[in-house]
Amino acid sequence: MIRPSDAAEKKLQEDSKLQYNHKVGVTGKGFFQKLLEWLSEKFFDNVEYDSIDITRRIIIWTLIIISVVIVIWLLLKSDMVGLIRPKAKAASFNFSDVTEDLDSINFNQRINDALTNNDYRLALRWQYLKVLYLLDKKQLIVFAPFKTNIDYKNELKNKNLQEKFMSLSRTYEYVWYGQFAFNSTLYNNSAAEFESIEKEINV
């Protein structure tokens, strides 16, 4: 076996590039690791690997749930909610074509004129507008041409009035905007409902 000379061997031993026995410094624990251990100790009274792993899962799922809740909240606050929940149709209560002061309108005369012409759809529209007018005069709602049935429903505090109003609103929407076939028999049935709510409003 050939050995290098003592001088050559010493030179090799002192060469820093050939030193492989340096001690590797122990890296300190990070903040998250310390947090996991602290929570693990609080929850499980120990800092064993299984306890830390469970704590890590709890934190991750908690963050996921919080994130989902925040995203849902933001969606509900934004216009994107329309993709999930249909908005109330503002057009369903668009009376912007009625330019007259409501106080000056003789609703009963308008209704009778429409009935004389067998225009039951128009008669129903005047009857519906009359109900809105009466509710406004009784300060149960604040009438505005652009408002929706949901707006008015939320303004009504009386639950019974709410239910009757929403029933009439559905009838009005089907007949006026849905081109629903509307004859004298159907009108008379609806007129009875309108008279019922008018009596309740005027009590």
The rounded distance, in Å, linking the Cα atoms of 173 and 24 is 79
Whole-number pLDDT of residue 139: 93
Whole-number pLDDT of residue 88: 41
At residue 114, does pLDDT exceed 80? yes
Predicted confidence (pLDDT) per residue in 64-94, tens digit? 898 888 888 777 765 444 444 444 443 345 5
Predicted confidence (pLDDT) per residue in 8-30, tens digit? 666 666 666 555 554 444 455 67
Whole-number pLDDT of residue 73: 76
At residue 54, does pLDDT exceed 70? yes
The rounded distance, in Å, linking the Cα atoms of 40 and 29 is 15
Average pLDDT over residues 93-104: 72
Q: Are 123 and 111 in contact (CB under 8 A)?
A: yes
Q: DSSP code of 82?
A: G
At residue 143, does pLDDT exceed 80? yes
Looking at the chain, list the stretches that DSSP marks H as alpha helix, in order from N- to C-terminal side: 6-14, 31-44, 49-77, 107-116, 120-137, 149-155, 159-176, 184-201
The pTM of the whole model exceeds 0.95? no
The rounded distance, in Å, linking the Cα atoms of 169 and 134 is 15
The rounded distance, in Å, linking the Cα atoms of 163 and 138 is 18
- The number of beta carbons lying within 10 Å of the beta carbon of residue 186 is 15
Whole-number pLDDT of residue 45: 66
For residue 47, name the pLDDT band (cuts at 50, 70, 90): low
